[in-house]
Amino acid sequence: MKRILTIAFALTLVASSAFALDYGWSISGSSTDARVNTGDIAPGLPGSVYLWLTCTTVDGVSAMEARVDVQGLLFLSFTPMNGALNAGAGQELLLAVGGCPREDFLIGSISVLNLGTGGSLCLVPSTANGFNVTVDCDAVNPVTHENAVAGFATTGLTFCDTSDQCTVSVEDTSWGNIKGLYR
């Protein structure tokens, strides 16, 4: 009986980790805080929201592909920042990122126009390839990883949010090993 319970527990751990996403992205109303996912954009005026890398459980990011899905707002442009390059066009992002940055890292700004009713933005699979993925920084065997996303919505609306699926794991260790790092 003990063996069956141990196997069942191990399978539960494996199954739960299979649904974890290794990279998290956020569309924020702030250029200094990645987690401002709601806010106001004045009607009739262009406004900016910002694309941030917010979670990495593997290593840094070298590339990302997704589409910016916009509801109720007019998409104007995407402008890469901090050394990122966009080979995509319009809402279709195909980003190359140098230096393998980790969280929290500002990737670019998205300009939108509030048509008067407010709206929301989210990252969804690209039209070209159907990908909403990040490529890790493994120099020998780079791997794509599905993205967790926290979108943006104007006040009173709900933003898309799968960001809770990107969690950073902690390795088991002893207190002696931790103290040994600082000797």
Report pLDDT digits (tens) over 91-112. Answer: 999 999 999 998 899 999 999 9
Q: What is the 3-state secondary structure (H, E, C) of the chain?
A: CHHHHHHHHHHHHHHHHHCCCCEEEEEECCCCCCCCCEECCCECCEEEEEEEEEEECCCCEEEEEEEEEEECEEEEEEEECCCCEECCCCCEEEEECCCCCCCCEEEEEEEEEECCCCCEEEEECCCCCCCCEEEECCCCCCCEEEEEEECEEECCCCCCECHHHCCCCCCCCCHHHHHHCCC
Domains, in order of start, for the chain: 23-163 (2.60.40.680)
Per-residue pLDDT tens digits for 115-170: 999 999 999 999 999 999 999 999 999 999 999 999 999 999 999 998 787 765 44
| pTM, 2 dp | 0.80
